[in-house]
Structure 1
Amino acid sequence: MRDPETIEYGMGMSLREARTLLDCARRDVERGLSPSHAKMEKRTAAAEALTFGGWAESYFRHNYRHEMAEIASLTLSATR
């Protein structure tokens, strides 16, 4: 079973890139941060951003009031 605190970067990178990432991960650990948790949170945020539910929530949060006001004014002008 895999250790939950183990972080994997994959084989699609050069040794130099891997060493740079390792240095960054070590610095994070020294500061008390968990690189594996940060990577997992980043993946989760990206996955949630791509879901229809995430998109719909964002849409209604940003556009709903503006569009409802526009629809209301169009409805009022049509009834006059």
Structure 2
Amino acid sequence: MTHRRAREAAGDKDVLVLGVDVSRQMLGSGLLDEVHLHLMPVLLGAGAPLFAGVRAELLPLGEPVGGAATHVGCSVVFGP
């Protein structure tokens, strides 16, 4: 499903994107307005850089929440 079809299907609701590859592509295309990260101190596989080649600034949405994982939400502001 393309991002246009997902947006049409969602109407006025949020569209959620999961996975580093899809998220990085959408960030690189300027299609995400928020990013919510859930970080755990475990590396599965080789890892994948989420923000490689993305020109954007992340502005925190409140304070990170810690525990077994750290949860942080950020609004995305795209640069030139």
* TM interval, short-chain normalised: under 0.3
**Normalised TM-score (structure 1):** 0.20
TM-score normalised to structure 2 length: 0.20
Higher helix share: 1
Kindly indicate whether structure 1 or structure 2 has the higher relative contact order, using CA contacts under 8 Å at least 6 residues apart: 2
Structure with greater strand share of residues: 2
